[in-house]
Chain A
Amino acid sequence: MIVALGVGTFATRLSFLALFARNEPPRRVRRALQYVPPAVLAAIIAPLLFTRPPVESLTPDAARTAAAIVAFLVAWVTRSTLLTIVVGMLVLWGARALVA
């Protein structure tokens, strides 16, 4: 499984560097690929803002959501991964402490 994922990932990297090096990607493909990062990342993040299993239900976790919103603003302004993680975790722990 890990090897297959490695091969698949390598293929995406190699694609226009070697496999179809003679061709430019069609415009429509290029445009679609632009939306991969926001669509995929949001799809990964969104479920993490809800109450984690074992309570698998559609209950937003207030502390996680608040921390995510603050973290997004920090990331937007500072573009710093480290600062985003530090501030986000502090907000999460702070919110948990307030509720408890």
Chain B
Amino acid sequence: MIADRSDNKNALTSGSLDPASSPRAAFLAGVRACGALIMGVIPFAMVCGAAAAAAGFDFHQSFGMSWLVFAGSSQIVATQLYSGGAPAWVVVATGVVVNLRFMMYSAALAPHLRDVTPLQRWLAAYLLTDQAFAVTVARAAEGRAGTTWFYFGIAGALWAFWQAATIAGIILGTLIPASWSLDFVVALTFISVMAPVMKDHSMAVAALCGGVASVLLDLPLKLNLIAAAFIGIASGMITRALWTPRFKSGE
């Protein structure tokens, strides 16, 4: 879930200088582009698998979650809330709030996937991730052809690596002693995702307020995270509204 990895863009596209106009070439270019991302995806997926196993889910539940949800941050949050005894509706609602960003990606990706069948559209939605989105849209912005098949290539390859690494995490996660504090890997994974998104002061304020609220709020039913998320979002929007110089149209 890296929102913007500009350092990868050149590396990704340099391997295929010929205009990847045929579906096959575009698809393969997408699969190759996945290579630059897997070093971030594999540890994240392993952490998700390990976290689910540690929370008491059996193999089928852990692996099933990775198939059905296929969104690491919400999987981890759901696992933590579940093992903390939160009611099921809070687990689901919090997970969906964590994934609200997909609506933003979905809207941004839609213009690039105009000529696909309904079935392909649903498949594209299922495979939508931060990384596949970021790389595909960056490539399309360069005016390169074959966006649809490039997207299926990179998104499908990411999905396959994600599932394989999740299995490794489920199996290996339970073997590691607690004294290693591997739970902290979760925090580090999220930090690595968050740092590149902090593009301006309103983003920083949103993060600061969300973080502080999440620590200080003591709400029943583990609703803290949802409340903190909305406080963070509101703070970011208010900061932006106050900071942006306005046109003095009324004067």
A-B contact count (CB 8 A): 270
Closest-CB distance, B184 to chain A (whole angstroms): 6
Partner of B211, one of A18, A43, A76: A43
Q: Are A39 and B184 in contact (CB under 8 A)?
A: no
* B41 surroundings in chain A (CB, below 8 A): 81
* B235 surroundings in chain A (CB, below 8 A): 39
Partner of A37, one of B3, B110, B122: B3
* A71 surroundings in chain B (CB, below 8 A): 187-188, 191-192
Q: Are A24 and B107 in contact (CB under 8 A)?
A: yes
A24-B107, A37-B101 known; A17+B121 contact, CB < 8 A: yes
Which size class do B's interface residues fall under?
35 or more
Q: Are B106 and A89 in contact (CB under 8 A)?
A: no
Q: How far is the CA of A17 from the CA of B104 in the complex (A)?
A: 10
Mark each residue of chain A from 42 to 77: 1 if its CB lies under 8 Å from any CB of chain B, else 0. 111111111010000010000010011001100110
Q: Are A47 and B104 in contact (CB under 8 A)?
A: no
Q: How far is the CA of A11 from the CA of B103 in the complex (A)?
A: 9
Q: Are A68 and B97 in contact (CB under 8 A)?
A: no
Which size class do A's interface residues fall under?
35 or more
A16-B110, A82-B43, A92-B184 known; A33+B82 contact, CB < 8 A: no
Q: How far is the CA of A47 from the CA of B183 in the complex (A)?
A: 12
- Give the contacts of B165-201 with A (CB-CB under 8 A): 180-181, 183-198
A1-B88, A5-B95 known; A38+B187 contact, CB < 8 A: no
B213 interface contact, C-beta 8 A: yes
Q: Are A35 and B122 in contact (CB under 8 A)?
A: no
* B185 surroundings in chain A (CB, below 8 A): 85, 88-89
Q: How far is the CA of A16 from the CA of B209 in the complex (A)?
A: 29
Q: How far is the CA of A40 from the CA of B224 in the complex (A)?
A: 11
A4-B92, A9-B74, A38-B236 known; A64+B184 contact, CB < 8 A: yes
Q: Are A44 and B225 in contact (CB under 8 A)?
A: yes
Between A and B, 28 residue pairs with Cβ closer than 8 Å are: A2-B78, A5-B69, A8-B92, A10-B126, A13-B102, A13-B106, A14-B122, A15-B106, A33-B101, A35-B206, A35-B236, A36-B101, A38-B232, A40-B101, A43-B224, A46-B214, A48-B183, A72-B191, A75-B194, A79-B192, A80-B39, A81-B2, A81-B189, A85-B185, A85-B188, A88-B187, A89-B184, A96-B181
